[in-house]
Amino acid sequence: MKTTIKLTPVDIASRKALDFSTGDVVCVWNKIKESDGKTRLQAFEGMVLARKHGTEIGATFTVRKVASGVGVERVFPLFSVTIDKIELVRRARTRRSKLYYVRDKALRDVRRKLKADTRVVKKGSTTTMEAVVEEEPSEVVA
């Protein structure tokens, strides 16, 4: 007779069977406890930057998304009790196991947009922010 002791309410076999890798877009449904005792689900959808420690108990994965123009990253434990479900939204084929270079790529894109947005340049300005000057409206002669 074989007895199994269940230490966690997470279905470990189904979490081990999840087939997502770096570059994939996933939606992680996280349980959040409210002040009145109720729990609600909150979705965090983004690209997987890294998976660490395989499928062992301490396995984690990092998800990055851009919210209101700011990059937000969260590290989720794979076997966390607070994770309700993990949905695969879109697959991607990557050549690297860790996509940390995406952080720098996003910064470069923002800098490029700032550079292209400069309208009028003050003489003798030292920084990019000093160089950007709002154009003054022309006076209306009546």
- The DSSP result for 89-127, as a single string, is EE----S-S--THHHHHHHHHHHHHHHHT--B--TT--S
Using a cut of 0.85, tell me whether the model's pTM lies above it.
no
The alpha carbon torsion through 106, 107, 108, 110 (nearest 10 deg) reads 90
The per-residue pLDDT for range 116-141, each reduced to its tens digit, is 766 555 566 555 555 555 455 556 65
Span of 16-25, 26-35, 41-50, 112-121 with lowest mean pLDDT: 112-121
Question: What pLDDT, in 10s, does the model give residues 42-90?
Answer: 999 999 999 999 888 888 999 999 888 788 999 999 888 899 889 999 9
**Amino acid in the structure at residue 5:** I
Tell the CATH topology of 12-98: SH3 type barrels. (2.30.30)
Angstrom distance (rounded) from CA 50 to CA 62: 5
